[in-house]
Structures are given as C-alpha cells and as structure tokens.
A and B are shown apart, each in its own frame.
Chain A
Amino acid sequence: MPEKPGSVWVIAEKSRDKIAEVSLELLGKAREIAAQTGSPLTTAVLLGKDAGLLAAELIAHGADQVILVEDPRLESYQNDTYALVLEELIKKHRPEIILFGASYRGSELSATVAARLQTGLSAHCIDLKVDDRKGLVQVVPAFGGMVYSEILCPEARPQMASVKPGVFPKPERDATRTGTVLKESATVLDGYQSPLKVVGVVQQQPSDLPLEKAETIVVGGWGVGPDMWDYLEQIAGELGGAVGCTRPALDEGWTRGEHTMIGTSGKTVRPRVYMGFGVSGSAHHVVGMKDSGIIINVNIDPEAPVFQVSDYGVIADARVILPVLLEKIREHKGV
C-alpha cells in the first residue's frame, strides 16, 4: 500500500507533452511550504492519457509522491473534466494546501475547483509562506501591483493559490530523487457528457528566445518610440538576450507581441540582467521584473518610479543612449 499523500499538492500542468515549467517551479515552493507544516511530503497531481512517463520528471524536481490519473478521457485538458476528477481526489485525500500554475487554463481550473469545494482561492501570488497562526499566507498584488496584500483562508480547506510562471525559481533537476506513484481512476467521468466541444487548438510557439530563458532582457517602454525600437533588438542580439516590453509599447504595436510583455498581465521574469529603456516603472510592470538580478534603467524623467527598483539608473533620454550603447558594445566586442 502506498502511504497517504502529503498535504501540500501541486497540480501539474502539461505543455506540449512536457511538464509545464511553472509546475516544476511550484514543486520547489511546495517543498518549502511542506517543510513548514507537520506533513513534509510534497505531492504532485498529474492527469492525462499516457501521463505516467512524466511522473519521474515531477519526482526529479521535488515531488515525493505523484498521484497519477491516466484515462483516455483526460488526453487533452478540458476544464470541466479536469475539475471533476480533481474534486474527487481532493475530497478523498483532503490536502491542506493546493498550488496551481496561473496559466489561462490553470486560473480557470483553480477557480472552478474552488467553487465546487466552496473553499478559498488566491490568484497570482508573488509569495507564499506558512505562519503558525495565519496558516498559508498568500501575498498577491492588488491595484495593478501598487499594493501587496496578504490573503488568508482561516477556516475552509483546502487553502488554494495560483502562481504565475517565473515567480519562483525552478529547483535543480535531481535524477537520483525517489518517490512513489499512487494511481487513481477517473470513474467520476463515467457517463459524463461535456457541454462544450473542443473543435481545435491552435498554438504557435514564438521563434524568438523566450524571456524566461534569457540571461539578459533589454526592455523597451513608451520612451523608446517606434523608430528606435530596433536598437533594443540589436543590443539584445549582441548580448545574446531577449527584448521585453511594457504594456504601452505593446499597445502601440512596436513589439514582437504579447509574449514579450512583462507585468501582472504578462510575464514574470528573473534574468541575470534587466536593462530598461524609457520604462516608467508602473506598479504593473514592476511586479513582473522586481526579482531580476541586476536592474539598470535609462529614463529621462528623474521622478520615474522605475529608479526605485533599479540598482543603476541613468537620467537621460533613452533615444540618445540606445545608439551610443549599441556602438560601444560593438566596439568592445571588436565587431
């Protein structure tokens, strides 16, 4: 008999036949949380058709146990079927804490499951910790990140939270870790007819270096302008980095697209170096970049809030600095 699952769960999400990065990131945080509770085992929950092959990946990144539900009806994600199966599992094993990745699907799934269980759920947490008195302290950005607010769930169980990709660092893969796999069934779906039919899934992976993988991100804001945008691309190219943007630059159509936007409604990044040009530093944007290694910002406005979240600031017109910096970097590299 496998032992009873631990009380901190991560709902694993698949992305193109792999475990989504955010699920692996959550395993690291879940282990920290589990260590602070009386039940130090971290459990990952994995649903799918032939998902069993991926259980080892979850264990290598920190899961002590994997609850595996393999069923052809779970081949592709659908909110209603996944929610039904999760609801059953949660009622059976009664975990204390459940973490979801805040992807579009994860957000929807967590909200659905919370409503079915009539329990509390926080969204887009930027920090999670256990307090003896308060339980799971879930820190969320409110008012576009202007204020950080604690969310608590004092009575209802489980305590549920969602976290966006990139917020927590991914634990090192350790192929020597061992864990158990507990198989469960999806009999709750017997006779169930989904009211929604999936007609197609269209997903196109952008060809550029994803922000999450870039060691250097060169970020452009309103102050760059469409005519100077290419300098960001060229500087990023010289540094082997990627170009990110703010919401105003995205809305103006200067950028490569939504997948390069940093902020509460975009990506959360933690590159080794963040270098911003003409970025004002709205609270919304700061939530997505505040954990970067070194932060440099060039902005003409000395009052720009971005300087408060910078290690180095340059009070100058980004449009003047960009060409000079590109030239100097090329000179330095001997190009």
Chain B
Amino acid sequence: MNIAVCVKPVPDPGHYNRININPETKLLDRKGIPVIINPVDKNAIEAALQLKEQCGGKVVLVSMAPPDTVETLKEALAMGVDEAYLLSDRAFAGSDTLATAKILAAGLKKIGQLDLILTGSESADSGTSHVPSQLGELLGLPHLNHITELSLELPVIKMKAKIENGYVEYEGRLPMVLGVAREINTPRYTTLMGVVMAQNKPITIWGLNDLGLDPAGTGLSGSPTQPGDLHFPRHGRKSEILKGEPEAIAGKIIAILRSAGVLA
C-alpha cells in the first residue's frame, strides 16, 4: 500500500500576531516567524503511518514550497515517513488553490502507483479547505474532505466525513483523495531516533521542468484568483472602560443590557 501525504509548510499560527503589512509593497511581511508543518497535516501523516502499520507499504510526503522548507519537511520524516518530494520552483510562487492542486497533481502523477492520497482538511494560514477536492478532481479520483474516521478492509475503505452536527458514512474503493480533520487521531511525537533517521531519508526536489508543467499554468499567472488589497481589521468600537468595584461594574453591565433591550 503506497500512501502519499500532501503537506504545507505554514507560518506558525502561534506567531500570527507578528504578521505585518509592508506599507510600501503592500505585501505581507512575515519576517522572523518560524515555519512549521500545517498542524492538521500532521494528522494526515499519522493516519498514513497507521495504515502503513496495518497494511505495510510506503508513506511518502509531497509538498509544494520554497526550497528552504527542507528542514521543516525533515520534521515530518522524523515522524516515520519514508521519503519526501519537494515541488519547488520560482514559477510556483503565488499559486492559488487551483494552481497548487495542479502542481501537486503533477508531482503525484510522477511518483506514480499511489493507493491513497491524504491531506489535512485545511491550512492554518489561508484555510480554504479547497485543495483536497480540487486535487481529487484534477487526478480524476474520488475525493472527500473532513474525514474523522477511516478504516480499511481491502478492497473497501470506510470513512466518516464531518457535516454540521454530525457525519456521513461512506464506502468506496482505492485509490482516493481524502482530507482529514483533526479529530481523526493524535499525531505521534517524534523520537530522537526518528530525528536521527530523518537525516538520511531522501528528499527529492522537482521543479517546473521535472514536472513538465507550463509556467503560464502555475504560480500567480496560472491562478484564476489574484490577491487584491490587504488590510488589518478595523472595528470602530468605542472601547469604553467600565471601572469600579465588582458590584458597581455588575450594575453598569445590567444598565447596558437593559438599554439594549435584552433585560427588562
């Protein structure tokens, strides 16, 4: 059983308060913010490793990212993934979800012979949750997103996909593309041994030409959506501070509730 897990290196969500907008370029400035594996992508890795433990085979990592993310990918290799493919090229910069899915699809096709492709359900930075479905469409494979349970009784795969206040149970056959939700499992910690072993695991870097992609079809020029202006949220609230002892404050809150008409 060969499983590919698509992962996205993202700026660490714990540091989003340090993100700035460069006043001249109007572009995002994320200087000094560490890059990590998108948190829910680790759940996808964990799901893949568990299936490998059950069925044998190989787990490979596929990521579209700048070349300096090699170290970040090693973190995933240290969890127990066998090898990684980094799809990296200047021409890929600015890719929207559809262009990203095209590049990932090209990388996955080149790897070939995959039974299952897993991703996290959404990324921490842009959070569209589009890529699992779009990847499935571009590969011509069945796809589902927000998977909270997964079990394999070959050749049948059974899944639960999250909906509002519940879930849908599905059955299907591999190959398939699945986006996993964070409820599916708890990702394992990396061990020191894992970290040592990751140093010798292969990381293959493929660019535009290796993937046989047209530069006009990737990156910003290959993206149907384009970024417009950025701004920080402005709320225009009066931010009046209520002072006094707790009893006095409670009295003031009650007056506000009454004037708002939610308390008689």
Binding site for B on A (CB under 8 A): 15, 79-80, 103-105, 107-108, 110-112, 114-116, 118-124, 134, 137, 140-156, 195-206, 215-216, 239-241, 259, 264-265, 272-273, 275, 283, 286-287, 290, 293-296, 307-316, 320-321, 324-325, 327-329, 332-333
Contacts and interface: CB of A to CB of B under 8 A. Distances in A.
Interface stretch (B9-17, B61-69, B203-211): B9-17
Given A108-B146, A313-B239, 18 more contacts: A80-B142, A104-B146, A111-B129, A111-B145, A112-B137, A123-B126, A143-B125, A144-B13, A147-B230, A197-B172, A199-B169, A201-B167, A204-B166, A309-B233, A309-B235, A315-B241, A325-B253, A329-B250
A320 B224 contact: no
A146 B237 contact: no
Given A146-B19, A313-B240, A320-B246, A104 B163 contact: yes
B contacts with A: majority SS? mixed
Contacts of A118: 98, 224
B19 A111 contact: no
Interface string B149-181: 000000000100111111111111100000000
Given A202-B167, A310-B239, A328-B254, A119 B224 contact: yes
Contact of A332 (B134, B256, B263): B263
B118 to A, nearest CB: 16
Contact of B250 (A105, A134, A195, A321): A321
Contact of A151 (B11, B162, B227): B227
A150 B261 CA distance: 36
B251 interface: yes
B28 A329 contact: no
Nearest to B235: A309
A121 B124 CA distance: 18
B237 A196 contact: no
A142 B123 CA distance: 10
B225 interface: yes
Interface of B: 11, 13, 16-17, 19, 21, 28, 96-98, 101, 122, 124-134, 136-138, 142-146, 158, 161-173, 223-233, 235, 237-242, 246-247, 249-254, 256-257, 260-264
A contacts with B: majority SS? mixed
B262 A272 contact: yes
A111 B97 contact: yes
Given A143-B16, A320-B246, A200 B168 contact: yes
B233 A121 contact: no
Chain A CB within 10 A, most for which of B143, B223, B246: B246
Contacts of A294: 256, 260
Contact of B240 (A145, A155, A311, A329): A311
B237 A308 contact: yes
Contacts of A197: 170-172
A108 B133 contact: yes
Chain B CB within 10 A, most for which of A110, A142, A287: A142
Contacts of A141: 127
Contacts of A105: 163
Contact of A239 (B28, B122, B238, B262): B262
A310 B237 contact: yes
Contacts of B235: 286, 290, 308-309
A300 B145 CA distance: 40
A204 B144 contact: no
Contacts of A321: 246, 249-250
